[in-house]
A = this chain, B = another copy of it.
């Protein structure tokens, strides 16, 4: 079983956080974890939003979030428990997460005209 990689506090980078949250699905997964009191298992995100997310895609999203330092994952039998590292990030980069969360909120409140995935 592969070890789970978590960057130390000092190794969390802005670019890693921005990259991780530049995917709306990952940003939503992170928001769910961050606003939840108890740990979230990966499977609870399997049908986030409109359509189901394949398990392999979900695992990849969690890996990116984990390696960016946004979440902490812990294996519990066959499940994976995830908690946010919001407090550490707030300490390292004050206001960053809040402003990104707010921007996504603003965006979701406006009716999109025609939006394409334009990450390239």
A residues near B (Cβ < 8 Å) are 7, 10-11, 13-19, 21-24, 27, 64, 67-68, 92-96, 98-100, 102-104, 106-107, 110, 113-115, 118-120
Judge whether A95 and B95 touch: CB under 8 Å.
Answer: yes
Return chain B residues, CB-CB under 8 Å to A68: 118
Majority DSSP secondary structure for residues of A touching B? helix
Task: Count the copies.
Answer: 2
Judge whether A96 and B103 touch: CB under 8 Å.
Answer: yes
Closest to A14 in B: B103
Judge whether B14 and A23 touch: CB under 8 Å.
Answer: no
Closest to A93 in B: B103
Known: A22-B15, A119-B16. A96 touches B100 (CB 8 A): yes
